[in-house]
Structure 1
Amino acid sequence: MIIPALDVLQNKIVRLYQGKYDTAQFYPFELSERLKEYAQSGAKQLHLVDLEGARDPSKKQWQHIQNALKELKVPFQIGGGIRSESDISTWLDAGASQVVIGSMAVEKRQEVSEWINKFGAKHFVIALDVNKTDSGWLPATHGWLEASKYSLSELVAFYLSIGITDFLCTDISKDGTMTGPSFALYEDLLNEFPQIKVQASGGVSSLEDIKKLNELGVSGIILGKSLLDNAFTVEEAIDA
């Protein structure tokens, strides 16, 4: 599945390079119109991130994002600033099909487990953003500034054991770079856990990248900068 993505900062559409806020590239698109355009182009799911909320939960842009989603009929997943049970309720009540949990899933596994038990595993995507290290793939948290004490494999195994099948994995070195995705990451992950559904994110720059990811067996391909910079269209991505 092709999943167009929009990140929101200061109530504007933005892309970051390798997750660094000081690299913010703002785009002159209106959020609701861009979402509508993606939906009309055939996207079956959309991905949104509140970057302001991810950095500082007291500065959530949820009202702005929810207003932009009001007329949307396409399922969407949302991440950024989700830190509590009430945050999850807010987004599910607002129509989100899934909430994306990142840093909390790494640092507060017990609390996240309780959320999953209450709301149901189908409503969650666990987002694990990783760096390649000498000992393997290691997740990072807090805007990718802090390293996790758990490996990628340990975290996937833990959440798989409590019913999660949807994982969004990003190689931090590839994010926003348009230099090609981390094929090795998805190959390693799907070889170890063939039963999970992996959303590939970061670095996709061509239709060939999409074809190769599809061959690897990922279940979703998140496209941000490539669509905003007109490397190809949603229709072309779906055809690929």
Structure 2
Amino acid sequence: MIIPALDVLQQQIVRLYQGKYDTAQFYPFDLAQRLMDYQQQGAQKLHLVDLEGARDPDKKQWRQIQEATQSLGVGYQVGGGIRSVEDVAQWLEAGAAQVVIGSKAVNDKNEVAQWIQRHGAQQFVIALDVNKTEQGWMPATHGWLESADVSLFELVDFYADLGVIDFLCTDISKDGTMTGPSFALYEELQVHNPQLRIQASGGVSSLDDIRRLKEIGTQGVILGKSLLDGAFTVEEALACYQNA
């Protein structure tokens, strides 16, 4: 599945380079219109991130994002600043197909496990954004500003045991760079547990990247900067993925 993505910061569409807020590149697109454009080009699912909320939950931009999604006819997943079971319920009631849990899923596993048991594993995407270290793939949290002390595969196993099958994994060094995805990361995830639906995020810059991710077995491809910068269209990405 091709999943167009839009990040929101200071109530504007933005892309960061390797997750660094001081690299913000803002785009002059209307959020609601851009989402509708992606839908009209054939996207069956969309991805939204409240970067302001991810950095500081007291500055959530949820009202703006919810208003922008009201007219959508396709499902969307949303993350950024989700810190409580009430936050999860609010998004599901607002129409989100799934909520994306990042930092909280790393730092407060047992609490998130309770959310999953309450709302159902199918309502969750676990987002694990990682750096390659001497210890292997290690997650980063809180807008990628802090490092975790638990490995990627430990967390994948923990949530898979709870019934979660949707995981969004980003190699931070690739995010927003347009230098190609971290194919090794997704190959390792597929080998580790072929039953999972992995969404690849970060670095996709060409249709060849999409083709190779499909060949690896990746179930979803998140596209952000490549679409915003016009490297290719949603229609072209969909055709490439379906024909790979």
TM-score normalised by the shorter chain: which range applies? over 0.9
Q: Give SS of 2:198's match.
A: strand
**RMSD of aligned residue pairs (Cα, Å):** 0.5
- Matched residue, 1:101: 101
Q: Give SS of 2:129's match.
A: strand
One-letter identity of the residue aligned with 1:75: G
Q: 1-side partners of 2:141 and 2:42: how far apart?
A: 33
Give deviations 1:77-127, integer Å, cap 9, x for gaps.
000000001101110000000000000000000000000000000000000
Question: Could you tell which deviates more after superposition, 197-206 or 133-142?
Answer: 133-142
Q: 1-side partners of 2:39 and 2:144: how far apart?
A: 30
Q: Give SS of 1:140's match.
A: strand
Q: 1-side partners of 2:135 and 2:64: how far apart?
A: 41
Give deviations 1:129-152, integer Å, cap 9, x for gaps.
000112211111111121111100
Q: 2-side partners of 1:24 and 1:212: how far apart?
A: 29
- Matched residue, 2:75: 75
- Matched residue, 2:34: 34
Q: 2-side partners of 1:9 and 1:139: how far apart?
A: 22
Tell me if 1:61 matches 2:61. Answer: yes
One-letter identity of the residue aligned with 1:186: Y
TM-score, normalization by structure 2: 0.98
Q: CA deviation at 1:158?
A: 0.5
Q: Give SS of 2:154's match.
A: helix
- Matched residue, 1:144: 144
- Matched residue, 2:211: 211
Q: Give SS of 1:144's match.
A: coil
Give deviations 1:33-73, integer Å, cap 9, x for gaps.
00000000000000000000001101100000111111111
Figure out how many residues of one structure are paired with residues of the other and give that number. Answer: 240
Q: 1-side partners of 2:14 and 2:195: how far apart?
A: 33
Contact 2:129 2:170 survives alignment (8 Å) = yes
Q: CA deviation at 1:4?
A: 0.1
Q: CA deviation at 1:164?
A: 0.6
Tell me if 1:164 matches 2:167. Answer: no
Q: 2-side partners of 1:114 and 1:52: how far apart?
A: 26
Identity %: 69
- Matched residue, 1:21: 21
Q: 2-side partners of 1:59 and 1:192: how far apart?
A: 37
Q: 1-side partners of 2:133 and 2:60: how far apart?
A: 33
- Matched residue, 1:46: 46
**Unpaired runs of 5+ in structure 2?**
none
Q: 2-side partners of 1:61 and 1:140: how far apart?
A: 22
Q: CA deviation at 1:74?
A: 0.7
Q: 2-side partners of 1:7 and 1:143: how far apart?
A: 12
Contact 2:51 2:143 survives alignment (8 Å) = no
Q: Give SS of 1:199's match.
A: strand
Q: 2-side partners of 1:135 and 1:80: how far apart?
A: 27
Tell me if 1:233 matches 2:228. Answer: no
Q: CA deviation at 1:204?
A: 0.1
- Matched residue, 1:119: 119
Q: CA deviation at 1:31?
A: 0.3
Q: Give SS of 1:163's match.
A: coil
Q: Give SS of 2:86's match.
A: helix
One-letter identity of the residue aligned with 2:192: E
Q: 2-side partners of 1:60 and 1:202: how far apart?
A: 23
Question: Could you tell which deviates more after superposition, 124-133 or 139-148?
Answer: 139-148
